[in-house]
Structure 1
């Protein structure tokens, strides 16, 4: 078992960030809560969600929270460690619902500073790729970058995962073992 503090895990698509986050939680020995932000709106996404469930294996309690992340964390995050997978889909859901993404991002960051237990948050780093062609794409990329910065500033540990390997950007605990 390792000590675990609230941690942001960043990376690109298929970088291994979710698997790394799951291992952090499994190695902690705490009870495991999976907070899913994805919605199964089509067959491909339903298959993707099923693959993630199978990969995680047994012992996870899954809660769906596509929009109300802070409220769900406040209600469910007292009895173990919560994996939020992922902030990128949560942000997309907020924007599609017409919610104020900047305000919701700040609410999340503020809540994380007083969280009663550890939370591991997975988020895509989208700023390393091409500039999106559309105004909506650029707006999303910018909002994602701001969200990642706000959360990284609020949490004790931040890891960047590439090719399945973590690079610790911010580390204040023994969770890197």
Structure 2
């Protein structure tokens, strides 16, 4: 019988150190390192951020660009692979901007991770800790992100909140 996946969720606010923590955690594990990038490059600031992340990871990571279909990427992952998905927030942003459903694709993605023999680390923003946004779209996104994080946390074997670069285990 194949070993089921191990899923770690790394939560944190913007610039909290969650991506760096997730990369370091992945490097502690044995296996092929896959970095799944969900961001779409919309401006020079995002382009620079992506370049910084790539330089930090180095050349021993395999890059998969998947702004839309995370279930397919996770289904293709094999035993012995480490799959770092950075990040759920950008994936959800893509769904919102494309004005398409996120619930069914999220369920498919989470199911694919749970059914896979690979190890997964998912990075996601905790966007609910600040003030209530002043516009309907931002409030809707905040609710969506909170719901997605709850689904990911329920499926995860381990949940870590990263604040100022310091991991706190929640689950």
Same fold (TM over 0.5): yes
**DSSP-derived class of the 1:8 partner:** strand
1:63 maps to what in 2? 64
1:114 maps to what in 2? 115
TM-score, structure 2 length as denominator? 0.93
TM-score, structure 1 length as denominator? 0.90
Q: Can you give the 5+ residue segments of structure 1 that lack an aligned partner in the other structure? A: 171-177
Q: Can you give the 5+ residue segments of structure 2 that lack an aligned partner in the other structure? A: none
2:170 maps to what in 1? 169
**DSSP-derived class of the 1:81 partner:** strand
C-alpha contact (below 8 Å) 1:112/1:155 kept by paired residues? no
2:15 maps to what in 1? 14
Cα distance in 2, alignment partners of residues 88 and 56 from structure 1 = 20
Cα distance in 2, alignment partners of residues 80 and 106 from structure 1 = 22
Note if 1:84 corresponds to 2:85. Answer: yes
**DSSP-derived class of the 1:28 partner:** coil
Matched residue count: 166
**DSSP-derived class of the 2:62 partner:** strand
**DSSP-derived class of the 1:14 partner:** coil
Cα distance in 1, alignment partners of residues 94 and 20 from structure 2 = 23
Cα RMSD (Å): 1.3
Deviation by residue 1:26-76 (Cα, 9 ceiling, x = unmatched): 01121100000011121111111101101112200001000111112212x
Cα distance in 2, alignment partners of residues 137 and 67 from structure 1 = 21
